[in-house]
Structure 1
Amino acid sequence: MEEIKLFCLPYAGGSADVYAKWRTYLNSSIKLCPIELPGRSKRAKDPFYKSMGEAVEDIASLVEDETNGTDYAVFGHSMGSIITYELICRLYEKGLKLPIHVFFSGRYPPCIEKQGKNMHLLTDDELIQEAVSLGGIPEKLLKYTRLVENAVSTLRADYTILETYGHNPQIQKFDIDISVLSGTNDELAAVEDMKYWEQYTEKSCTFYTFHGGHFYIHNNAKALVEIINNTLVDTE
C-alpha cells in the first residue's frame, strides 16, 4: 500500500508537538506530518503570521513541496480547522492536488459568525485565565514564568490572525470526503454548529463525538487515530 501523508494543523497556541503521540497508533501506511507554525519549537525564530492569508500561503507552499503529487489528508483542530479550510481553497485556486480526506475538529465552519471576546485584545492575565479555563494551559505550569510568557505571545499572535479573519460567508464545496470531530462538552464547538460542515462537501460527511471539552484530542488520542486509520486506509 502506498504511503499517505497526514498533515496536522494545531489549535491557537499549540505546536506540532501536540500530535507527536499519534505516531504510536497510526497505521504504518500513514506518515504523520504535523505542521509547525512560526514562533514556536523549531521555528521559534520565525516571526508570527500577521494574517490568515499569510498563514495559508506559507502552508500551501509547504504542502505542495511535501506532497509532490502523492496522496495526503489534512487534520485541523480549532484554529487549525479554519486554516485547513482556507488552505484547501488556496490549493484549489492554484490547481494543485487536493487531499483525499479532510478532518475538521473542534471548530464550527467559517460561514457561522459569532461575537467572541476578542481574545487577542485581552490583557496577559486575562488571556492566561481563558487558556487555563479551556484546558489549553495546565494550571500547574503557571509557576514557570518564561514558559507562560512564551505561551501568551503565541496565543495572542494566533488569536490575532483568527479573530481578524472573522468569518467567511461564502461556502466553497469540494469533491472531498470529510470527517467532523468534536468534544461532547466543548463550549466553543456546539454540535448544532458543527453540523454546518456538511455544506462544504459534495461527497460524504461523517460526524464523530468524543467525551471531553475543547481539548478532547489530548485524552482520546487512541480512539481518534483509530478513526483516522479506518478512514484513510479504507479510502485506498
Structure 2
Amino acid sequence: MVDKVLNCRFPRPTASCQLFCFPWAGGGSNFYANWGNMLPESLEVTGLTFPGREGRFKDPCCHSLEVMQKEIIAAILPKCRERPFAFWGHSLGALMCFDVAKTLKSEYNLEPERMFVSGVSAPHSAERKESKVYVKDLNDEEFKDFLKKLGGTPDEILRSEELMALFLPPLRADYELVDQYEYDLEGEAPLTCPIDITDGQYDIKHNLKAWQDLTTGKLTIKMLPGGHFYLKEKDNMMRILENISSYFFE
C-alpha cells in the first residue's frame, strides 16, 4: 500500500528534508512528483496518490476522511521518523496536511519543519464553513457547473461524457472529503511550526490570517496572480518553488 500512496519520482536518500505534497480535490501526485527535479538536491519531494486515479486508478475511491487520514499516516509515518519533513497542500490538500500534521504532533510527537498551505481559508474559520458546497446534494450536471466555475478541469474533459465518467467518481469522492471536514479550535494552537501561505489574487476571498490561530510559529502570506488553480500557471509554480527553496536554504 505504501508504494501505491507515495510517488517519489526523484529519490534523494541523503536529502536533509522531505516534502510531502497533498493533492487538491480530484488531483493526483504526478504534478508534485515532478517538483523533485526542480528543487535543490537537499530536498526530496513525494506526492501523495489518493485512490481512484493515476497508479491507483483501479482502487475504489475513498469516501471517508478518517480512512483517508489513516492511510496517509500509515504511509508516511516511517519516513517522518527517519528525517525532517515538511508538508505542502492546496485546497483539500491544505486541509488534509493540517489534519495529518496535528495528528502526528498529538499522537507521535512529530511535526513538520514547515507547512505550506494554499487556496483555502483556515479550517476553523467562519468563511470556510459558510462557503462549503455540499456536492452530495448536486446531480451530475450541477456538479459539472460547479467545476466549471471553480476552474482547473479542462474543457475537453467537461464536454466528454466518456471522460467525465472516468473523472467524476474521484472528483465527487474528494469533494465529499471536503464536505466532511470540520475543525473547531479549542484551547491552544495545535502546532508550533511556521505556516507559509500562497493564494490566488482572483480566487474567492479566503480567511488566511486565521491560520495563525493554529500555530505558535510564524505565519507568512503571499498572493500570486490567478484564480483558484493559480499554481498550475508556470510562472506561479516557479515562484512557489523559489519560495520553498528560500525557506529551507536561505
Match of 2:65 among 52, 64, 85: 52
User: CA shift at 1:29, angstroms?
Assistant: 1.3
Report % sequence identity.
Answer: 27
What is the match of residue 200 of structure 2?
A: 183
Give the structure-1-normalised TM-score: 0.90
Gaps of 5+ in 1: none
Shift of residue 15, structure 1, vs aligned partner: 0.8
- 8 Å Cα contact 1:101-1:232 kept in structure 2: no
Instruction: For residue 116 of structure 1, report the CA deviation from its aligned partner.
Output: 2.9
Cα shift at 1:66: 2.6
Query: Which amino acid in the other structure matches residue 199 of structure 1?
Result: D
1:162 aligned partner, one-letter code: V
Which stretch shifts more, 17-26 or 200-209? 17-26
Question: Whose RCO is larger (CA < 8 A, sep 6+)?
Answer: 1
| Deviation sequence 1:129-186 (CA, Å, 0-9, x none) | 2212211211133344332212211111111121022x21125431101101110011
What amino acid maps onto 2:199 in structure 1? S
Shifted more, 193-202 versus 146-155: the winner is 146-155
Query: How many residue pairs were aligned?
Result: 230
How big is the shift at 1:55? 1.2
Does residue 125 of structure 1 match 2:141? yes
Q: How does the TM-score come out when normalised to structure 2?
A: 0.86
Q: Does 1:201 align with 2:218?
A: no
What amino acid does structure 2 have at the position aligned with 1:158? D
In the alignment, structure 2 segments of 5+ residues that lack a partner are 1-13
Structure 2: distance between partners of 1:114 and 1:210: 24
2:191 maps to a residue whose letter is F
1:13, 1:154 within 8 Å by CA — same for their partners in 2?
yes
Once the two structures are TM-superposed, the CA of residue 21 in structure 1 deviates from its matched residue by 4.0
Please give the per-residue CA displacement for 1:83-141, whole angstroms capped at 9, x wherever unaligned.
11110111112224211000111011111221533123211122122212211211133
1:97 matches 2:118: no
CA distance in 2, matches of 1:65, 1:125: 42
The answer to whether 1:154 aligns with 2:170 is yes
C-alpha RMSD of matched pairs (Å): 1.8
Distance 2:137 2:37 in 1: 38
